[in-house]
């Protein structure tokens, strides 16, 4: 298998509701896929399936390589300064501080290193989550609404980070209810599956 991520005929049931079934997708190095569609069509569930956090009711999920995930939870300790909170995940991912430096520069968060996570705005939190994804060095990015609350400049940085990741042979699965200016982006309309 040359793909980094492959979902084969998966079905997802949440509660007693069938969100989707017989869904297949594959992401090779350098590819990106936009999951689009209105709220409640299973974009987040599909991301969690791909991440291995949910079990598929049917079908198989294969990953080759590590995953980095953004979801609605920030997973940074609110009482810590931003840099120390990010350094925890750098140690968990066994990457060095330079990776965090570069990622913070890419998301323009370096000036906020000493600000407690609890004081960050919504957009800044999303940028901080993006720093963790970039610094992790994982080849598979699973981004669930990464641009929520981001201003235009931050969205530009997000798009640039995605492009750089794909140029390095990474793959991106992106769930978003609005369009991002990512070039050469495949689409999967979750709303049309229901």
Q: Going residue by residue from 112 to 151, which x/- string records binding to another protein, judged by CB under 8 A?
A: ------------------------------x---------
Q: Which stretch binds another protein (CB under 8 A): 4-12, 25-33, 52-60, 180-188?
A: 52-60
Residue 69, Cβ neighbours under 10 Å: how many? 23
For 33, residues 6+ apart whose C-beta sits below 8 A from its C-beta are 25, 27, 172, 173, 174, 185, 186, 187, 188
Shortest gap between Cβ of 63 and another protein (angstroms)?
Answer: 9
17 lies in the site for another protein, by CB under 8 A: no
User: Which run of H or E residues covers position 99?
Assistant: helix 97-106
Number of residues that bind another protein (CB under 8 A): 25
For residues 100 and 91, what is the distance between their CA atoms, to the nearest angstrom?
10
Residue 122 CA to residue 3 CA, distance in Å, equals 34
Cα separation of 6 and 11, whole Å?
A: 14
Among 10, 33, 69, 103, binds another protein (CB under 8 A): 69
Q: Which of 20, 34, 89, 141 binds another protein (CB under 8 A)?
A: 89
Is-contact 105 46, C-beta < 8 A?
no
- Please identify which residue in 55, 62, 151, 181 interacts with another protein, judged by CB under 8 A: 55
Figure out which of the listed residues 26, 29, 88, 99 binds another protein, where binding follows CB under 8 A.
Answer: 88
Q: What is the DSSP letter of 48?
A: H
Question: Which residue of 20, 31, 32, 71 would you call a contact of another protein, by CB under 8 A?
Answer: 71
CB of 31 to another protein, least distance (A): 20
Query: Is residue 52 within a helix (H) or strand (E), and if so which, with residue range?
Result: none
Residue 22 within binding range of another protein, rule CB under 8 A = no
Write the CB contacts of 74 (distance below 8 Å, at least 6 apart in sequence).
117, 125, 128, 129
Specify the residue, 4 or 68, whose C-beta has the smaller distance to another protein. Answer: 68
Shortest distance, CB of residue 2 to another protein, whole angstroms?
Answer: 21
Footprint of another protein on this chain (CB under 8 A)?
51-55, 66-69, 71-79, 88-89, 91-94, 142
């Amino acid at each position: 298998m040359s793909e980094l991520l492959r979902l084969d005929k998966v079905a997802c049931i949440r509660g007693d509701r069938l969100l989707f079934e017989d869904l297949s997708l594959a992401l090779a190095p350098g590819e990106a896929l936009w999951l689009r569609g209105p709220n409640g069509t299973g974009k987040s569930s599909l991301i969690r399936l791909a991440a291995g956090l949910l079990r598929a009711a049917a079908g198989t999920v294969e990953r080759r390589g590590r995953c980095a995930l953004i979801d609605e939870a920030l997973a940074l300790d609110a009482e810590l300064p931003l840099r120390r909170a990010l350094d925890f995940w750098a140690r968990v991912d066994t990457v060095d501080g330079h990776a965090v430096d570069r990622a913070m520069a890419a998301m323009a968060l370096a000036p906020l290193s000493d600000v407690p996570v609890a004081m960050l705005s919504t957009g800044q939190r999303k940028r901080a989550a993006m720093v963790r994804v970039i610094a992790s060095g994982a080849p598979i990015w699973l981004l669930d609404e990464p641009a929520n609350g981001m201003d235009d400049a931050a969205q530009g940085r997000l798009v640039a980070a995605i492009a750089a990741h794909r140029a390095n042979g990474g793959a991106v699965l992106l769930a978003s209810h609005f369009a991002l200016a990512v070039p050469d982006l495949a689409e999967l309309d979750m709303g049309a599956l229901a």
